Structure formats: C-alpha cells, structure tokens
Chains A and B, each alone.
Chain A
C-alpha cells in the first residue's frame, strides 16, 4: 500500500514536472485557443515556419541571445579562471571571496539600477556592448566562485613541476592548468552561458528596450497578448538548458544559484 502510494506520488511529480514543457510546446503550435477549451481549437506550424525562414523578430533575438551569451560565457570563464587563482592563493582569500559573492548575490536589476548612471555617462545604454558588460558583471563573479574550488595542493604541485622544467607562467597556464581544469571550465562556461541566457532585469534597464534578447521578447509578446509567439520564444529559451539536461544534468544544479 505504502509503495503504491509512493509510485503514485512519483508519477504525479513526473506529470507536474513535464507539464510546462508540453504546454509551451503545444501553445507554440496553437492558432486559436479560446475559453473554455482545454486543448487548442486550431493547430498550425506557421509560427515555427516563420521562425525558420527568419520572418519574425524571434529569429533575430534568438541569434542575438546566442551570440551574446556565448561571448559572455567565454569571457567570464577565462577571466574567472585566471582571477580565481589569484584569489585562492591570496592570504586574505576569504575577504576577496566575500567581495566576489556580493555582486553575485545582489538582485541583478538592483545592481543595474546602481550602475545605470555610469552606463548612461559612458554612452553604453541601449548598446549590445553595454548589455554585454552588464552580463559580464554578473557572470564573472560567479565564474570565480565556481573556479576557486579547482585550486588545491595537486594543482600547485603540477604547476611547480612545470616551472622546474622551465615553463613560464602563461605556458604553464595554457599547457598544464587549463587541460587539468577542463571539467570545471566546461561547467563554468555552461553556467555563465545560462546566467546570460536567462537574464532579464539588467538587460531591460541597461538595454533601454533597444536590445531585444529572447527573455525580453517573451515579456513583450505577453504584454502585447501575443501568447502563441510568447510560447514559441519560451520554448526556444528552454532549448539550451534542455540540451544540458540530456547530456550533463549536474551542471544545471548551479543554475538557480546563478540567478542570484
């Protein structure tokens, strides 16, 4: 009886967890879905066709989001890895790490409100470069936090061996430490990609509505009551994390933390 109840509970959880994906997928194919129908009245592939041939702004926003998030992830991972070594080996590493935590924990939109004036002053608002820097300010501290765990006695020993063989600091970094940290670097890359990919508040404020990433487009479609396109954009937003889920689900665990 107890195990049957457990099975029912597990099945109910599975249904509950799978429902948002099904719902968004179905809605992206809907043409008409009036009250009180539980399923769409009419289905169409038109929205998806328009997306593929680039007839709607979603295609542009999708490409912009992909390029932006990949650039942020690459820069944050490299910068974060280099900085994490400095922090891990610093005698006041605890305080430096606290300073790193702070911008990462703060609400991104409130952080954006604080730095907004400087972005206006430097004429960075409403530009992709400004949004890129804004995303980097969120992703870089997180990359440091993730990479700090890599530096240990083992990594130090490897570094020392390389140095005794005549390797310079950059060569040691490129040929010894980076290959050694491949796993953590890949995880950091995907995590910081997701931070940028999911970012909404900071992008709204610093992009002043001109930089339409996919998250902003979802909200715009909702406010325009264009729910089918909102569902299509939402479904596209789910794609990269879904791919991660299939191939390396453990890397997703940090996603929620990444939104702090």
Chain B
C-alpha cells in the first residue's frame, strides 16, 4: 500500500511540476477573476444581464455619460489625485534637500520609515481628529486665545474642496516619496554629479534645479504615476473625510452598488469601467515608454 502510495505521489509530483502549478495558478488568481468581473460589468451596463434587465440597450451609458453627478465624481477624483500628488512631491523634494546629508544615520532611518506603518483608515481617523471643527488643532488655537468657539474653526473635514482628503493623502504619500527620493539620491550618486557640476561653475541652487530634481523625477516617474492611480481610486479616506457631494469615484461606485434601488447598479459599473479605461491608458503609456517594470 505504501509502495503504491509512493508511486502515485511520485507520478503526481513528476506530472505537477512547480512550473505547471505556477502556470495553472496565475490565470485563476489574476486575469480570470478580473476579466470575468469586467465582462459582467460590461454586460450589466448594456442591459444584457441583471435582475431588471429588459434586453440590450445603450440607455444606461447615455444616462451615465450625461449625468452631471457621475461626471463630477470622476473629475473630482482626478482633481484630488493631482493635487495630492503635486503637494506630496513638492514636500518630499524639499525634505530630500534637507535630509540628504542625514541619510545613513540609524535614528533618521527609523524616523523616516515611521509614517509607512500607518494604514489609510488610521490616517483618515487621525486627520479627522486633528482637523475637525472640535478637533485637536481647534483646541490648541482656543487655548492660545486665537479662537472663541469650535464653529469659528474653518471646515476642513467633509468639505467640498476635499481639503481633508488631500491632507490625508499627503500625510501618507509625502513620507513615502521622501524615502523613495532619498534612496534614488543615494543610488544615483547625485552628490557626485553635483560635485562635477560645481567644478564646472554651477552654484548649489543651480545644480539642484538642473541635476537633482530632474534625476529624481526621471527615476521615480513610474511610481509617481502609479501612486496617482492609487489616490484616484482610494476608498476609506474619502469615505470618512469626504463630503456627501461631490463624492469620490470609489465611494460613488460602492454607494450606487449597494443602494436599495437596483436602478443605480449599471451606473456603478459604468463609473468603475471608466476608471479601468483610465488605468489601462496609463499602463499603456508607461509600457510604451518601457518604464513600468523599472521600479518593480
């Protein structure tokens, strides 16, 4: 019995090699669920499937593409993504110029990595606690005599300009980009390049402007773009810190999907599909520039 078991397991092991197992697992856990999900969303948005389906139609697409609320949600997410990334990168660049001489010290390493330990849901909660009208910042200003009551503090949370959402994104992204830039600074030996520039007569500011910043951007470009996709599609931060209107894309998709009325489901899928089209477009552009796998 034991011998036949061994024989069977031997045959099994020789037939199912690691490569074959990998080849079988990859589609099952990556492309198949995704394509099946996107396919279902396309069919649902065209009226081909779904509980309320009345046959194939372009009606849902027409409605969605003329629905100002939906388009606003899309534009709002792009606005939040761009502003979050631009602010984060600007802060990280300033930080890089300050911290570049401190790299390698143990305490600096610990300090710089600390914000990466904070998940988005906690970041959102923290920003809420600090910047709400009765939050910690308002309390400090009150104690300093600069504020009479909580309602004199500006509305920074659940505001239409997404200040709270952008603050939370910046709190997460700026430390990440700071580490990325500092690592790139070291790996690209930018100090050496700056020394060469200074022997050629360039000043400190000029070599930062013409060497440091372009090199950092060039090397970090794919990560910056991918982080933008992350910010546009973020969920937990706008869920807590966002206003009820306009809503960010992911929040809007989930709300439309979970409403009591089933009529909004096609709109949820259309919004999600528009997001996928943007992501595919960005990936395609990165791939054309052969940049995608650079930072992997």
Residues A140 and B117 in contact, CB atoms below 8 Å apart: no
Q: Which residues of A contact B240 (CB under 8 A)?
A: 219, 222
Residues B113 and A84 in contact, CB atoms below 8 Å apart: no
A18 interface residue per 8 A CB criterion: yes
Given contacts A107-B230, A111-B37, contact A10 B114 (CB under 8 A): no
B58 interface residue per 8 A CB criterion: no
Q: How far does the Cβ of A20 sit from chain B's closest Cβ, in whole Å?
A: 5
Q: In the complex, which residues 77-107 of chain A have their Cβ closer than 8 Å to any Cβ of chain B? A: 79, 82-87, 89, 94, 96-103, 105-107
Q: Which residues of A contact B276 (CB under 8 A)?
A: 106, 110
**Complex interface: stretch among A42-50, A53-61, A249-257:** A249-257
Residues A100 and B126 in contact, CB atoms below 8 Å apart: no
B118 interface residue per 8 A CB criterion: yes
Given contacts A107-B250, A245-B114, contact A87 B26 (CB under 8 A): yes
Mark each residue of chain A from 96 to 134: 1 if its CB lies under 8 Å from any CB of chain B, else 0.
111111110111111101111110000000000000000
Contact with B25, one of A79, A204, A219 (Cβ below 8 angstroms): A79
Q: In the complex, which residues 223-237 of chain B have their Cβ closer than 8 Å to any Cβ of chain A? A: 223, 226-227, 229-230, 232-236
Residues B117 and A10 in contact, CB atoms below 8 Å apart: no
Complex Cα–Cα for A260 and B37 (A): 18
B166 interface residue per 8 A CB criterion: no
Complex Cα–Cα for A136 and B126 (A): 28
Q: Which residues of A contact B112 (CB under 8 A)?
A: 17
Complex Cα–Cα for A234 and B29 (A): 31
A64 interface residue per 8 A CB criterion: no
Given contacts A105-B229, A218-B125, A230-B125, contact A198 B139 (CB under 8 A): no
Q: How far does the Cβ of A163 sit from chain B's closest Cβ, in whole Å?
A: 12
Complex Cα–Cα for A108 and B121 (A): 14
Residues B122 and A38 in contact, CB atoms below 8 Å apart: no
Residues A85 and B19 in contact, CB atoms below 8 Å apart: yes
Complex Cα–Cα for A234 and B33 (A): 32
Contact with B235, one of A115, A168, A200, A244 (Cβ below 8 angstroms): A200
Q: Which residues of A contact B257 (CB under 8 A)?
A: 113, 116, 205
Q: In the complex, which residues 234-260 of chain A have their Cβ closer than 8 Å to any Cβ of chain B? A: 234, 237-238, 241-242, 244-246, 249-250, 252-253, 255-257, 259-260
Residues B253 and A169 in contact, CB atoms below 8 Å apart: no
Q: Which residues of B contact A207 (CB under 8 A)?
A: none
Q: In the complex, which residues 68-121 of chain B have their Cβ closer than 8 Å to any Cβ of chain A? A: 95, 98-99, 101-102, 108-121
- Chain B contact residues (Cβ within 8 angstroms of A): what range? 35 or more
Complex Cα–Cα for A117 and B100 (A): 50
Q: Which residues of A contact B150 (CB under 8 A)?
A: 35-36
Complex Cα–Cα for A94 and B287 (A): 10
Residues B13 and A205 in contact, CB atoms below 8 Å apart: no
Q: Which residue of B lies closest to A107 (CB)?
A: B233
A183 interface residue per 8 A CB criterion: no
Q: Which residue of B lies closest to A103 (CB)?
A: B34
Q: How far does the Cβ of B27 sit from chain A's closest Cβ, in whole Å?
A: 8
Q: How far does the Cβ of B9 sit from chain A's closest Cβ, in whole Å?
A: 10
Q: In the complex, which residues 1-38 of chain A have their Cβ closer than 8 Å to any Cβ of chain B? A: 6, 9-10, 13-14, 17-18, 20-21, 23-24, 27, 35-38
Contact with A83, one of B22, B98, B114, B234 (Cβ below 8 angstroms): B22
Residues A109 and B235 in contact, CB atoms below 8 Å apart: yes
B66 interface residue per 8 A CB criterion: no
Q: Which residue of A lies closest to B34 (CB)?
A: A103
Complex Cα–Cα for A117 and B18 (A): 32
Q: Which residues of A contact B249 (CB under 8 A)?
A: 107, 110
Complex Cα–Cα for A243 and B30 (A): 31
Q: Which residues of B contact A200 (CB under 8 A)?
A: 119-121, 235-236
Residues A10 and B287 in contact, CB atoms below 8 Å apart: no
Complex Cα–Cα for A21 and B110 (A): 14
Contact with B119, one of A105, A198, A205 (Cβ below 8 angstroms): A198
Residues A83 and B25 in contact, CB atoms below 8 Å apart: yes
Q: Which residues of B contact A94 (CB under 8 A)?
A: 293
Given contacts A17-B111, A200-B120, contact A227 B129 (CB under 8 A): yes
B261 interface residue per 8 A CB criterion: no
Complex Cα–Cα for A41 and B191 (A): 51
Contact with B99, one of A10, A110, A219 (Cβ below 8 angstroms): A10
Q: How far does the Cβ of B259 sit from chain A's closest Cβ, in whole Å?
A: 13
What would be 6 A-B contacts, judged by CB atoms less than 8 Å apart? A86-B26, A96-B26, A101-B283, A106-B233, A114-B41, A250-B113
Closest 9 CB pairs of A and B: A107-B233, A114-B37, A86-B22, A241-B117, A83-B22, A201-B235, A198-B119, A36-B142, A109-B235
Beyond contacts A13-B99, A20-B118, A215-B119: 18 other A-B pairs, Cβ-Cβ < 8 A, are: A10-B99, A13-B95, A14-B111, A35-B138, A38-B140, A83-B23, A83-B26, A94-B293, A102-B279, A102-B283, A107-B232, A109-B253, A110-B233, A113-B254, A144-B26, A200-B120, A218-B125, A253-B116
